[in-house]
Amino acid sequence: PRHGVSDSIAEALGLHDVKPLVAAPADPLDKVVTFVPPGDAVAMIDALAAAGAGAIGDYDRCAFVSTGEGTFRPGDEADPTIGTRGRTEAVAESRVEMVLARARRGAVVNALRAAHPYEEPAFDVLELASWEGDRGHGRVGELAEPVALGTFVDIVVEALPQTAVGARVAGDLSRDVRRVTLAGGAGDFLLDAARASGADVYVTSDLRHHPASEFREHDGPALVDVPHWAAEWMWLPVLERELCHRLAAAGTTVETAVSRICTDPWNHRVASRRET
pLDDT tens column, 229-272: 999 999 999 999 999 999 999 998 888 999 989 999 998 988 88
Instruction: Give the model's pLDDT for residue 11.
Output: 95
Structure confidence by residue, pLDDT tens digits, 71-111: 999 998 889 888 889 899 899 999 999 999 999 999 999 99
- Would you kindly state where each structural domain of the chain is located, as residue ranges? 5-24+133-233, 27-127
Burial environment of residue 14 by CB neighbours within 10 A (0 to 12, 13 to 18, 19 or more): middle
Q: Which amino acid, 89?
A: E
Confidence of residue 276 (pLDDT cuts 50, 70, 90): low
Instruction: Give the model's pLDDT for residue 29.
Output: 97
Q: What does pTM read for this prediction?
A: 0.77
- How would you classify residue 57: left for phi > 0, otherwise alpha for psi between -120 and 50, otherwise beta? left
The third-level CATH classification (topology) of the domain covering 27-127 is Alpha-Beta Plaits (3.30.70)
Alpha helices, DSSP H only, in 68-137? 105-115
Class of domain 5-24+133-233: alpha beta
- Cα separation, 214 vs 192, whole angstroms: 11
- Cα separation, 165 vs 160, whole angstroms: 11
Averaged pLDDT for residues 105-124: 96
Residue among 65, 38, 73, 66 at smallest CA distance from 49: 65
pLDDT above 70 for 1:
no
- Cα separation, 193 vs 31, whole angstroms: 33
Instruction: Give the model's pLDDT for residue 232.
Output: 95
Structure confidence by residue, pLDDT tens digits, 156-215: 999 999 999 899 999 999 999 999 999 999 999 999 999 999 999 999 999 999 999 999
Structure confidence by residue, pLDDT tens digits, 132-149: 888 899 999 999 999 999
Residue among 49, 30, 39, 31 at smallest CA distance from 118: 39
- Cα separation, 3 vs 61, whole angstroms: 27
Residue among 150, 154, 131, 155 at smallest CA distance from 19: 131
- Cα separation, 13 vs 160, whole angstroms: 10
**Which of the 8 DSSP states describes residue 97?**
E
**Which of the 8 DSSP states describes residue 267?**
-
Local structure of 89: helix, strand or coil: strand
